[in-house]
Chain A
Amino acid sequence: MTISSDQDIVLARQKGRSLALELGFSSGDATLIATAISELARNIVSYAIKGEVALKGIQGSNRVGILVIASDNGPGIPDIRQALRDGFSTSGSLGLGLPGVRRLMDEFEIVSKPGQGTTIGVKKWRP
């Protein structure tokens, strides 16, 4: 779904929560997933003005999970290592919140180049 306004952030996380519940995630996990989606969508609105969030149920070797892909054609992230630096006691409202999103989910992948936009893929598996 297209993300360009703050209302879209709310929609994205609501969709994420209901998909997670449909896939059989517990309510607690669904909250974690919805929160991660909210942060990813929020980054798009704040830094790239417009982008996409895609949600999908996925199959693993013998488990079920959810895949979230947030992509945009925004300015890109110049120093990914810096953005992912996990200062554990930071207040989290600074910067992109990417370390936080990584903690919320099980798998995290990011591709970003200045001038070429950013794509972030995260997965969470149902135990």
Chain B
Amino acid sequence: MAKRDESSELLRELVAHLRQNRTQLREEWVVRISETRLLTAMTKEEIFAEATSVYDSYVEALETETFEALQAYARNLSERIIPRGVETHEVVGIVLLLRDVLARSLFAKYQTDFKKLNRILDAYEPAANRIANTVAVGFVQERERVIRQQQEAIRELSTPVLQVRERLLILPIIGVIDPQRARQLTEQLLRGIRTNRAKVVVIDITGVAAMDVTVANHLVQTVEASRLLGATVIVTGLSPEIAQTLVTIGVDLGKMNTVGDLQGGIEQAERLLGYKVMALAEPS
């Protein structure tokens, strides 16, 4: 217990020192940052502004010995600087530079009292390392989140739900579908039904080569979920093989709305929606 108290006591002394010398230590840190050519994506003013916040958060974390505020700040900071192109090694770099600048100032201050210096470093080092860790991890987590978002956006772009007419959506499914893509298609379709207020959806599976039981289940679920949103689903392009798979898993094809080809499916959709379908006269 005594050790803990002593450690807190030393940290308090340390924090006081860091606060007293705030201006000059911060300045030193900013100089080191530009010397090592970090944060080149940011202007001098920006670096200075962020440095001030980081320095203060750093000292506060040392003082309170809690890291939640620092974590929140790190996330926040990362959200701002990631779009600017700042990279992980830069963020880790500047935090370690600050750690070094502060450590050096401790050496300078306590150089005459070696024993005291050791004790102060014993208190400082674990805390400083934890801070570096917290900031780095916060940055990396934010980066991963951004990457996931981008991947999701790319996947969405490559699986289009098309609005052909008012209240009518078409979802052409092409190629091989793995369970993850099937799930994503379903979610996109359901969101599309809601956004476009679709009453009829035509799912065209002409381009699907083969369908295993898992994906067939997904199709059935998609049809059922669409109905819960008030939309009718017409499935077109059902090959005999896929029809067989569906029957195997217990789907009553009589209940599912199926039409041979996409064109026929669209026509039926339009009839359901109340549009008149007129055949063009053949040129004589």
Contacts and interface: CB of A to CB of B under 8 A. Distances in A.
Interface in B202-225: 217, 220
Nearest to B141: A24
A87 B217 CA distance: 12
A88 B249 contact: yes
Contacts of B251: 89
A28 interface: yes
A124 B249 CA distance: 25
Contact of B217 (A24, A28, A88, A127): A88
B154 to A, nearest CB: 14
B250 A88 contact: yes
Given A88-B217, A88-B249, A89-B250, A28 B187 contact: yes
Interface residues of B, number: 9
A24 B251 CA distance: 36
Interface in A80-106: 87-89
Contacts, number: 11
Interface string A19-34: 0000010001000000
A8 B262 CA distance: 49
B145 A24 contact: yes
A27 B272 CA distance: 33
Contacts of A24: 145
Interface string B222-251: 000000000000000000000000000111
A28 B217 CA distance: 19
Contacts of A87: 250
Interface of B: 145, 180, 187, 217, 220, 249-252
Interface of A: 24, 28, 87-89, 127
11 contacts: A24-B145, A28-B187, A87-B250, A88-B217, A88-B220, A88-B249, A88-B250, A89-B250, A89-B251, A89-B252, A127-B180
